[in-house]
Amino acid sequence: MSEVNLSTDETRVSYGIGRQLGDQLRDNPPPGVSLDAILAGLTDAFAGKPSRVDQEQMAASFKVIREIMQAEAAAKAEAAAGAGLAFLAENAKRDGITTLASGLQFEVLTAGTGAKPTREDQVRTHYHGTLIDGTVFDSSYERGQPAEFPVGGVIAGWTEALQLMNAGSKWRLYVPSELAYGAQGVGSIPPHSVLVFDVELLDVL
């Protein structure tokens, strides 16, 4: 590819548009996506040329690919749900693990002696969140800044656990997907993900 001049605001914005499109396609690529065909479509549209594919063909092909992507997503979600259930079943057998009626599991890493918050309280915490494969998706420790929030304003697994913790405690939570982000997932958290958190309750505000 020839060298592109990116020294002006206009060219940098143009490049940014391409980057955004590329990021979207990289993160959620349609099956068999063709960069050459994408560039041909962009070039033709920008030049005002007629489409090389008629609308009926285009709609039919979009439908086929959409159905393939939906089937792949459903298969991944089913696999993730199964892996999560298996993980929790095995984890429950470990010494030191408490399993609550909701399905939430925890182990006490450090026992604090401070006050327990209510659902209406604000708390200050440090936390480190991973998927069951160890992938980190969020960490106040890595940011170097504790987080403050209402006990009732977080995922259900956290709300339940925080009300059982004394300030000064540090617990490891194993949160079933239905007490976290469920079938939707969020950000880098896939649907049906069991989440693992180290949570340190620093203070009840």
Active-site residues, by number, are 127, 137-138, 155, 181, 197
The DSSP 8-state label assigned to residue 94 in this structure reads: S
> Is 106:169 a contact under the CB 8 Å cutoff?
no
The C-alpha atoms of residue 131 and residue 8 are separated, in whole angstroms, by 42
E strands, 81-194, in order: 98-99, 105-110, 122-131, 136-139, 147-150, 170-175
| Enclosing H/E stretch for 112 | none
Q: How far is CA 158 from CA 35, 98, 165, 179, 202, in A?
A: 43, 15, 10, 8, 14
The C-alpha atoms of residue 70 and residue 28 are separated, in whole angstroms, by 12
Task: Count how many residues are written for the chain.
Answer: 205
SS3 168: coil
18 Cβ contact partners less than 8 Å away, ≥ 6 residues apart? none
